[in-house]
Structure 1
Amino acid sequence: MYKYQLSVDGTVAAYRLPFLLAGGSLVVKQKSDYYEHFYNELKPGVHYLEVAHDLSDLVEKLEWAKAHDAEARRMAEASRRFAQQNLMPLDIYCYHAVAFKEWATRLRSPVRVREGMEPVTAPDHDRRFGDCECHRSRPRDEL
């Protein structure tokens, strides 16, 4: 385990953020316009230490973390708890179920099953997995 983990975007949001949050280290996350479905539930200063998009304050923020070790540890623990409570495989499945259900309400024409495709009907889904009852009532604005 490392004391600090840096999350910096590339051409998209840094996809490894859930793993960093779960790791028990203080996550130092770049301020970004990119987001994943769970970002609006994260709070800077609670779940991670935010740095400027251009990383101009990175050294200053790391010096702060070093001088405020107890607060940094609290953030690391909060991010680990957040990941355990919100980013486990069932949570990700639930998010996708809610997103697809919302997407289905926006279809303007019936779905056609083409040659080589296999239909997946709602009753089979419900029997295998049950209804998804999670706190995500609607995707943020991915749709």
Structure 2
Amino acid sequence: DFLTWAQLQRFRAVVSIDGFTLADRLAYLVVGGFAILRQETEWAEGWYRFMQPWVHYAPLRTDLADLVPVLQRVLRNDSLARALARNAALLGARHLSRRALTCHWLTLLHGYAQWVQMPVRAAPGAFRVRPDRGFW
């Protein structure tokens, strides 16, 4: 069974483990105020490069052999758990907010537009989408 977000809030620390792909819930955990234990794997989203071990999360070996000692270290050290949670939340606010994600996409699309050599024409029936006035 999966925990609801409200049920998950009862815990100080959470574990993020990848499956067949990356654990896409990590972004929610980062902004959720948890001390995160994160499995180190080759899977990554673009924003993972901003995360630093023992600053934003407690790293776990790929085979999870160190899960118990790392979890005990985090749970026994309240200042460490609070620092990991606080730093992760700050990282989330800076890089995962609606505005930050829009900026990342605009940067990506601007870079792509510089690369495209052919003229770009809107498809018939296409229309320009503009953000709401209160967006920024």
- Give TM class, smaller chain: 0.7 to 0.9
Aligned equivalent of 2:108: 99
Q: How many residues align?
A: 126
Aligned equivalent of 1:60: 69
In structure 2, C-alpha distance between the alignment counterparts of 1:33 and 1:103, rounded to whole Å: 25
Matches within 5 A, 1:10-25: 10-25=19-34
TM-score (norm 2): 0.80
1:5 and 2:14 matched: yes
Per-residue deviation, residues 53-79 of structure 1 (Å, max 9, x unmatched): 121211121111122221121111111
Q: CA RMSD in A?
A: 2.4
In structure 1, C-alpha distance between the alignment counterparts of 2:29 and 2:52, rounded to whole Å: 15
Matches within 5 A, 1:13-92: 13-92=22-101
User: In the alignment, is the contact (CA less than 8 A) between 2:29 and 2:36 conserved in 1?
Assistant: yes
Shift of the alpha carbon at 1:125? Answer: 5.6
SS in 2 for 1:43: coil
Shift of the alpha carbon at 1:85? Answer: 2.2
Gaps of 5+ in 1: 133-143
In structure 1, C-alpha distance between the alignment counterparts of 2:122 and 2:97, rounded to whole Å: 32
Aligned equivalent of 2:5: none
Which stretches of structure 1, 4 residues or more, deviate above 6 A after TM superposition?
none
User: In the alignment, is the contact (CA less than 8 A) between 2:13 and 2:75 conserved in 1?
Assistant: no
Letter in 1 for 2:55: V
TM-score (norm 1): 0.76
- Once structures 1 and 2 are overlaid, which stretch shifts more, 42-51 or 12-21? 12-21
- Once structures 1 and 2 are overlaid, which stretch shifts more, 44-53 or 31-40? 31-40
SS in 2 for 1:38: helix
In structure 1, C-alpha distance between the alignment counterparts of 2:53 and 2:38, rounded to whole Å: 9
Identical positions, percent: 27
Matches within 5 A, 1:99-118: 99-116=108-125, 118=126
Per-residue deviation, residues 57-111 of structure 1 (Å, max 9, x unmatched): 1112111112222112111111112112221111111111111111111113223
In structure 1, C-alpha distance between the alignment counterparts of 2:29 and 2:47, rounded to whole Å: 14
In structure 1, C-alpha distance between the alignment counterparts of 2:127 and 2:117, rounded to whole Å: 18
